[in-house]
Structure formats: structure tokens, C-alpha cells
Amino acid sequence: MQRRRGVMPRLGLAVALAALGLWARHQAQAFDIAPTPSCGDNEYIDISSLLCVTCGSNQEPDPTQMDYTNNSLACRCVAGYIATSAACASDENDLIDGDCVELECSEYCPATDTAPLEDDSQCLACDNSTAVLNSGATDCACADNDAFDKVLLEYDQGGNVAANKTCATCAAGTRVVLSAFSTAGVAYEADPYACVSCPDPNMSWGTSSLTIDTCSCDTGYTAVGSSLFGATGCELEDHTSEFTVNEANAVTVSYKNVLKVVEGPATSTASVESLYFQDLYVKSAARCKYFAEEPEDYRACQALANLCVLQQYAEDSQVCEDFDDIRDARVATNNGRAEWGAKMPWLVYDEDAEDVRDDRGILMDIAFTGDGITSFDTLEFKVAKYTANGTWLGTEDVSTLFHYCTLPAPQTDSGGGTSSSTRWQQVGHSYEDKYRCDLKTLLYDEQVFMDLYIVDKSTDTLFPVPVRNKNYVRANGQLPNLNEDIEDEIDDVYTRRFFLYDVISGVASDPIVDEDTGAYQPTVVRFAKNIKLKIRIQEDATTKIYPPVLYIQYQDVIVSEILSETNHMLGKPVVHFAVEYSMNSNALYETFIGFVSAGAVIAAFLFGLRLSNMYNNNRRHSYEMSGMSFEFLMRVLVLAMHSFNVTFFPLMFCLCAYLFTFFKMQAEVYLMLPSESAEEGREPISTVFIIFFHLMFFFQLARIIVLVYDQCHVEVFFVDWEKPKNANHEVSAWRQILIANEWNALQTKRRTSVTATLIWLCFVLIGAGIENVATPQPSLTDTRPGVTNPLLRFASAMFWWALLSVAQWLWNTLIYDRYFTEPPGQHFVDLCTIAKISVVVFDSKFHGYYLHCNAPYDHADVTMKELSEHLANEEKGFTTNRGLADASNKPQLQDVQVFELYVTGLWRKKWERIYASSTVQRENFGMDRRRGVRGLDIFKSETMKLTDSTVKASKDLTEYLKYFIQNTFNRVELKHELKDQTIPEKILHRPPEMGNDRNKLVPDHALLGGPRFLNVVFLGNEADLLLFNMLSFAICDVWFQNTAASILFTYVLNSALEWVRRTFGQANLARKTLVDERFLI
């Protein structure tokens, strides 16, 4: 087909032009709106378009209509002009179209000696007597008004427009303002139509030309307050003099917990001469002391109390001393509390700390499921709120109050805020949350002070909640609320009022003004870093509670540092809020100590028994042993560690399971979890448990290291009973290779799969959300995410570990190995028997195992048909038993093939002499292989350096073992005897007495875990390996509090363990059995 030239270029040009048009269209839709509009001197803000619009002719922005950013919302006529109705006012179409001009300002009033009204609505003539047209001809002015005591009037007493503008004399103590000025903290705008007074009734206008624009206190009064915060006032000098002498000390605020490093210790200090203290101190103290039942007097006492709270109740602060003096002078009290002076707030408890904590004044009964009449399942808290100047803001529910700070968008989910959880108000539901707080969002918030109450629903009254301020400082500098020992609680000081952040005390006397808001910027900001509400259940009446206690710890931050780019993260600290339901844990501690004591006794007994067994197993007559070697001492230490674990792991699990069961499944209030904090002056019980978890993990790690080391150094030897079929043929080596591979596969085999366990654990704990059952809420069905309790977490995780592992073990042991296959140990013995290869394994110098696998037929290296016939004959009983020949007189031992072997010193010496000559050559061979050949390369014969001497030594060793097994030695020390164990010996695993110098073969009866010879491989140590896996998971869970990380850590650690055991165990097997490692697969 012929291509049409020019079509594609034209099409491309069309597409490009269309795209350009679309781009231009979108460009035209861009908006030119400032984030924070700031209009000019002759502009107002149009709130519909959010744009600044220029005022019309003869107009100016109206200062009486302003928005929050000080933009005018409308225009008005300039002086001398009047407003006229728009021409379109009567045209509905213009009104509907929105094209009507709101305001038009006409020329000056046309008539002589007339001026616009104040609202620019019409013109009115001056009376030319008291009021004449001013020099600018823009309005009337009062004649003879040098004293500014004449006010311009344009309405009569009935509120109607007068015939003329006239002037009248202002009332005494007032004046008019003809040009704007500020005095006594008040900005006076020019207004010839109003008489104004000074802000305080005890203040007067100046009379001279220099003081005419100044308000001054009358004789006998002194000015109080700061003009930077608004109107100042006047108080009697007799009332203020006692406070003004100490004002310099009173207005200095000390900050003793200044944070300099992100999340570091708050140990630096700072001080500020506070502008707020300068404003409030003297007038509040004076009005509170000389109380006149005025509303301002009530606010003054509250304000003075607030200043004391801002000083952290410091005993040596002047404001707190003054407050205490005023309170002590009051005869009457509030609500029968001596420390609650009449007409004053309650700041500090005078009672002993114990009396405050153990008050039984809350009468309501609590329950997990209350009926709302006689028992209640939710707690209700309220706060009475006050501003800095003492104004009462009322009471409100606490709700999310303690999540007082947030992060700006788009990070609000990481901060606090009103969407935070309030489930902690449900009885028994402990709660913990950590959120980031951007202190910059608080800098210009209103300062609020609070008194906390709990609602006693049985009487519908408020019960005060004491506050333990950890920053409280005594006059001597001590911090009584920071306790190290339980005895330290005796001097705790409890207070009432608190704040969550302080953004006013740090405003310096020469304040920095924020450019955007016009507010004063503090130089230091103080915030509540740690907040904790502790609710204790009465131990002798579990349906009642003691007064909740609010714990608060504050930190201070320098504002200039959080505003800087280099250290701005100081301004985003992590705030910790927690609610803890608990009860006295003394009984639990005593129970725990009792269990630990009993466990220590059991562990000591177990250790002593095992040490005795180990000593007897490693001591023989006629064999010279070295003294207390370092290796022996280390083994004794590991034995003690393992005895500790065997005893204390089930003990710790039972204690945690007890707490889990009775806490999570209780229908009525019976038990609360022990406190997780050290507030009582001692380590919390959870910390003690965590210490035990660490000990058990590292003890078990040491045990597993020794176990793997020992298993990788066992002495393994194969005894081949096969005889050559004729003199010209040697016995084949393939049967030994087969048995070696079977043993190699057996080394890391287990009855439980760690991988399967971890997969199911991941499904159960993470997928099904069961990990959240460990949250400290008394409900087994509550799986909402939250901070978990370490004891509940341990109990839950270990329960599922045990359940999944035991289920696998039972399946493999009782069902799969019995009905579908064969137990691994018996399978290996049967295979060895068919191959006519016995196995000798030594796991220590004088102890080992003998697997007697000499099949009751002549040859094993036969055809499949012959082998089948052999097995059929054996099944029909046509052959002799598989047991030892010398067991014929002991019917119970005739079929026993597996024995524990206890040898004498002489037997061991002879074994070592023969064994050493073969292993030397094999070790050299192994070293050569590691230097060169890798992998299975059977064609490189230069790596096979089995010398004639090595082969001869191996044959000698085989003959030595055959003589021993057949009991044909002449010397007693080289003979053996069969000895069955008694029941106590089986239970205690006591080695037999070796006094008659005979070697002992003790039948190794298979138990549920299999025969004991499996102790030299993983199969016989399932409990130890499982305990190690469980502790690996548990300790990682303590470290990271993350189930997925714990699962991954456990898997990696177990895989590494298996790799080490497999790699070094295989090398040891090749070295000890003379089977080249390249044949091991």
C-alpha cells in the first residue's frame, strides 16, 4: 500500500496544538489566592473570593469591621463624605446578577456649616454656638475644648437625629479623645462623640498639658498589672506594699528540667523574668488577701494559685509562700478541708501521703459488667478549668484531655488529639500510648489550669483526684516525689491543680512578638512529658477503689532552639500517657518469692543429683584423671544453668499463666495485674520476670552450645559383622556408607518442625490477632491493638508454642511413627541389623551406647530375594533372637539390641590406644581435603590417603569390639556383664556401680521420646531444643515487642544452629567412621 505523504506530520501537529490548548486551558484555571491574605492600606478582604479589593472613590477600610488577620471586611466613607444609596438598589435584576455596587460616597455636604453624621448617613448642621465646622470642613467640632471635656452630640435623648450638632460637657472623670493615644494599657481611638474614662475607677486623667493623655492612680493607690496585657489597675498602697517589696523575686521563674538533647536527660536550667508574673502577682495577691467578695477577688485568688502552680509548687517561691500565708489567715474552710481555705482554691494536701493514697471515701462499687445502679463498669473523670487570670471556664469530661498535643498535617496520626482512645475509662482496662507532640502548635494556645475529679456515681458527687508532681521541689532542693525505695513514699507531697503545658510563664519582660499572630512568644515552654493515672483496687474489697492518683513529670524546652532548623526535633518530643489499674502486689511478691525459693531448692537438688551422676560417669579406678580442669568447671557451671532452667521455666510459665487466666477470664473484679512501674520504690515484678527470662535464655544458649559441641565430638564406630563369602573377596563398603548416611540424616532430625511451628504461630498471633490478647484488659475476647503486658505476652506466646509443639510431638510419636512409618531410632536399629553393622557411640570418656545389630543370618550383602527370605524367616521365628548371645539366660533381655555402655578404666585405655592410631591418619586426611578438594569428586584418588596402617588399626578396633561384645576376653576388666536397672535408677538415671571392674551393658529401654542413644543427636534432646526455641522467641519479644521480628529471629537462630550441627557433625562422622565425607549426602 502506498504511503500518503504529509498525513502523519499534519496529524502530529494537530495533536500538539490540541495538547497546547488543553495546557493553556488548565493554566488559565490557576488561582492567585494567598494562603494568608494581607490587604493593603486602602483594601478590604472579599470573603467570597478571598481576594483583597481596593476601596472605591472617597472610601477607606472600615476599622470597626476586621477579620482575625486584621484585614478590614468593608469600606466606609472618608471624613466629610456621606454614603448614598446605589442606583441599582431598586433594580432587582442588578441585585440578582450581583452587579450592584454596595457603597457610593458623595461630595461634601452641599449646605454651609453642615457635616455628615457619624454613620455617614446624612448631613447635619452645626449649631454654630457650641459646635462649629472644623478647619477641614469634614465635621463639627466643640468650641473651647482645650480640656477635652466637651463631647459632640447629634442625637436627642429619644435617639432621634437632632436638629443640629451640639456639644455638651462630659461627666466628671471622663473626657473625649480627639487624637489616638495609649495609656494604662488601653488604646484610645479618636472619637469626638464619646466621653471615656480611665480603665480603673481609682484612676484619673492628667490635668496638665503633659499629662492630659495619661491615666494615673489616685493618691493612696498604686498601679498594678502590665500595660502589655491590657488595662492596668489600681490597688491601695497599704494592700500592695507588702507584695511589691518581694516582687523582683516573685516574678522570676526557674526552669530546672531544660531539655538540650532530643530524648536525652532534662538536666539543664534556665530562668526568666516573667511578664505574666509582673502582670498578675501584686494585684492578685493584694485582692486575694484583702478579699471583698467581688468577682474580681475570687479570680485574684485563683490567679495567685495558678502562679504557684507555674512555679511547680516550689516551697521557696514567693508566690507559693504568699498563697500559704493568705490561706492560713482564713478562719473558714471549704468542704471541711483545713488546707482548702475559704474563697480560695485547694492546692496542696496537708495529710500524710499514705492517708491520701489509702482514702476510702469513694463509695461506688465497680465491676467489669455493671448494672449502672449498684455497680459501675466505667469511671468518669471531670476537670474544673481556669484561665491564667483565674476566670472559671466550668467543668468538662476528661475524655481525650491527656492527648493534648498533636502534629500538624499530614502527620496528625502520629500525634495525640481528640480521636485518641478513651477505653481506659472502662474498669480494668489499662492503657498506654506514646505520641509525638509539636510544641510549636501550643505556643499561642490559651493557658489553662485544671483540678481533676472522679465522679462517685453512687452519690453523684465529685471526689478530688490527688496529683503527684514529680518536679515538686522542697525549699532545701530535695525532690520528695522521686522515690528510690518504698520507704521514700512516706514524704510524698500530693497537690491538686496542674497544667499540661505552660506557654505564659516563659514570656520575658521584654517579650518577642510573633509576626503572624501578634502574640507574645515565650522564651521557654514547659510541657507534661510523662502522664500516668494510677487506679488501685482495694485488696480487701475488690469492688472498690482508692482515689486515683495522677502522676505528672514536666520538661522544659528553649523556644529559640525548637524554632531553629538545626535542632527542631527538640520541639517534637514523645509524650507518654498511661493508665494503670493495679492492686497491692505484696501478696504476689510473697507468692513469687515462695515459688522462687521452692524452685531454688528443687534446682539445687537436681543439680546435685546430676553432678553426682556426671562425677560417677567420669571417674574410674586404674585410669589417671586430671584435676579440676577449666573444662570440667565450665561443664559444672552449664549443668547448674541447665538445672536452673529445667526448674524455673515451668515455674515462670505457671506464674504468668496464673495471672493470664485469672485476670483475663475473671467475671467479677478479683485480680489486677501488678504495677509495671517502679513508683513504689522497688522494681516492678514484670522487671524481675524479664530478668529471669534473660537468665534462662542465656543459660539455655550455653547449654545448647555445649550440647552441639559434644554431639559434634562423639566417638562413633561401626562394627561390621559381615563375613567374606570367599577368601578372594573383601566385604563391601557400601553398607557402611549406607549406615553412615542414615546416621548423618538422623543427627538433626526432630520430632517437631520449628518452621511449621513458626508458620502456625504467625497465623495465630498475627493473622488472627491473638497477640493482642496480651493487652492489659480483663477480657479474653478483646483483641484490639495496644501496648501489651510482658507477663501476659509471655504466657500467651509460650502457651501457643507448647500447644503447637506438643501437638506435633503427639502426632509423630503416637500416630505417624506407629501407624504410618517407624520410630526413627527403631528404624535406624532395624536398618543396621539388616546391614549386620553394629554401632558403638561414646558421648563421654566412660559412657556410651552400643547398638547390637548382628542379624541372625549369615550374610547381609545378598540379593533382594535372599534378603526378603531372611526377613520372612525372622518374622516366622525360624531364626534366633537379635539380642546378645549371653542374654539367653535372661528372657527379658533376649530381644534387647540397644544398651547403655559403662566401661572400666582399663577398657578405655586399650580403646584409646587402638583408636588413636586410626584417627591420626584420618585427621591428616581430613586436613588435606580441606586444603584442596571440595564436593564429591571420587575420581581424584590423590585425596584418599587411607594408609595400610589406618586400615589395620580400624580392623584391630573392630576385632577388639567383637571380642568385647562376644565376651571372649580373659581379663575381667575387658569383659562385660548385662545389668538391668531398678526403677529408681531408671528415674534418677543413676550409673551402675563399677566396683567389680567389669564393663556394664544396661538395656536401653525405649521411652516415649525413644531410646536413650538418641541423646547423641537432636532427636534425644527435643525438650532442650524446644526450650531453646521458645526462649529465643520470648527474649526477642522482650527486646522488640514485635511478633514478626521474634519469629524471624527464632527461625534464623534455629537455622544457624542446625547448620552448625549438620556441618561439624558430618565432618566428625567422616573422621570417626573412616567414611569419606564426600559419600555423605
Mean pLDDT of 573-584: 92
Burial of 755 (0-12, 13-18, 19+ CB in 10 A): exposed
Same domain, 211 and 248: no
Burial-class residue 463 by CB neighbours within 10 Å (0-12, 13-18, 19+): middle
- pLDDT at res. 940: 39
The pLDDT score that the predictor gives to residue 261 is 87
| 851 domain residue, yes or no | yes
- Binned at pLDDT 50, 70 and 90, residue 934 comes out as very low
Q: How many residues does the chain have?
A: 1081
**Domain limits at 910?**
824-1017
Do 897 and 930 reside in the same domain of the chain? Answer: yes
Same domain, 866 and 954: yes
Task: Note whether 208 and 94 are same-domain residues.
Answer: no
The pLDDT tens digits of the residues spanning 587-613 come to 888 888 999 999 999 999 999 999 988
49: cell is: 473570593
Taking the CA atoms of 1018, 1020, 1025 and 1030 in sequence, report the sign of the dihedral they define. Answer: positive
Residue 29's pLDDT is 54
Domain termination site, one of 584, 614, 641: 584
DSSP for 227-259, written as a single string: GGGS--EEEEHHHHHHHHTTHHHHTEEEEEEE-
Instruction: Give the Cα-Cα-Cα angle 737, 738, 741 (nearest 5 degrees).
Output: 85
C-alpha cell at 267: 538536666
Half-sphere exposure of 739 (CA within 13 A, CB side): 28
Check residues 478 and 12 and name the one with the higher pLDDT. 478
Both 418 and 528 in one domain: the answer is yes
- Domain end, chosen from 529, 549, 584, is at 584
* pLDDT class of 102 with cuts at 50, 70, 90: low
Alpha carbons 373 and 576: distance in angstroms, whole number: 34
725 in any annotated domain: no
pLDDT class of 619 with cuts at 50, 70, 90: confident
Question: Which amino acid is located at 995 in the chain?
Answer: G
Cα–Cα dist 315/303, whole Å: 18
First to last CA, the chain: 68
Residue 23 has pLDDT above 70, yes or no: no
C-alpha cell at 88: 441599582
Q: Using an 8 Å Cβ cutoff, are 153 and 193 in contact?
A: yes
Number of domains within the chain: 6
- Same-domain pairing of 474 and 511: yes
Q: Write the pLDDT tens digit of every residue in 807-864.
A: 999 999 889 988 999 899 989 999 999 899 999 999 988 899 999 988 888 788 887 8
943: Cβ–Cβ under 8 A, 6 or more apart, which residues? 925, 928, 929, 932, 933, 937
| Residues 873 and 799 reside in one and the same domain | no
Instruction: Please state, in angstroms and rounded to a whole number, the distance separating the CA atoms of residues 526 and 559.
Output: 10
Q: Is 931 within the bounds of a domain?
A: yes
Residue pair 907/973 in contact (Cβ under 8 Å)? The answer is yes
Q: Which residues make Cβ contacts (< 8 Å) with residue 855, sequence separation at least 6?
A: 721, 833, 834, 836, 870, 874, 882
What pLDDT, on the 0 to 100 scale, is given for residue 1009?
65
Query: What pLDDT score was predicted for residue 918?
Result: 61
- Distance separating alpha carbons of residues 886 and 990, to the nearest angstrom: 24
Which residue type is seen at 385?
K
Residues 567 and 618 in one domain: no
Query: What angle, rounded to 10 degrees, do the helices at 824-835 and 734-746 form?
Result: 170
Coil, helix or strand at residue 721: coil
Q: 558 near 522, Cβ under 8 Å?
A: no
Are residues 191 and 133 located together in one domain of the fold? yes
Looking at residue 937, what is its pLDDT?
A: 44
Domain finish residue from 969, 998, 1017: 1017
| 575 domain-assigned | yes
**140 shares a domain with 208:** yes
Q: Count Cα neighbours of 811 within 13 Å in the Cβ-side half-sphere.
A: 10
* Residue 227 within any structural domain of the chain: no
The answer to the question of residue 915 being in a domain is yes
Which residues contact residue 408 at a Cβ distance below 8 angstroms, ignoring those fewer than 6 apart? 438, 441
Highest mean pLDDT range out of 329-338, 421-430, 849-858?
Answer: 421-430
Least confident interval from 275-289, 354-368, 837-851, 903-917: 903-917
Q: pLDDT category, 12, cuts 50, 70, 90? A: low
Q: What is the DSSP letter of 602?
A: H
Single out the residue of 1011, 915, 483 nearest to residue 715, CA to CA.
Answer: 915
Q: What is the DSSP letter of 25?
A: H
pLDDT surpassing 80 at residue 70 = yes
What are residue 1044's phi and psi, to 5 degrees? Answer: -60, -45
Quick one: how many helices (H) and strands (E) in the chain?
22, 46
Which of 69-83, 329-343, 558-572, 913-927 shows the lowest per-residue confidence on average (mean pLDDT)?
913-927
pLDDT at 48: 85
Mean pLDDT of 186-199: 93
- How far is residue 584's CA from residue 563's CA, in Å, rounded to a whole number? 45
Is position 141 within any domain? yes
On whether both 629 and 579 belong to a single domain, the answer is no
- Phi, then psi, of 270 in degrees rounded to 5: -160, 165
- Give the residue, 995 or 795, on which the prediction is more confident: 795
Please indicate, yes or no, if residue 730 is contained in any of the structural domains. Answer: no
Nearest CA to 644 out of 613, 690, 602, 611 is that of 602
Q: Are strands 541-545 and 512-513 parallel, antiparallel or unpaired?
A: unpaired
Are residues 787 and 893 located together in one domain of the fold? no
Q: Does the structure show a pLDDT above 80 at 583?
A: yes
Cell of 911: 580403646
378 DSSP 8-state letter:
B
Task: List C-alpha distances in Å: 75 to 150, 334, 366.
Answer: 29, 55, 63
For residues 600 and 695, give the distance between their C-alpha atoms in angstroms, rounded to a whole number: 14
pLDDT in tens, 770-790: 999 999 999 898 888 888 899
Residue 929 pLDDT more than 60? Answer: no
**Residue 242: its pLDDT value, please?**
92
Task: Give Cβ neighbours of residue 184 (< 8 Å, ≥ 6 apart).
Answer: 198, 199, 200, 203, 214, 215, 223, 227, 231, 232
| Pairwise pLDDT comparison (985 vs 573), residue with the higher score | 573
- Per-chain mean pLDDT for the chain: 86
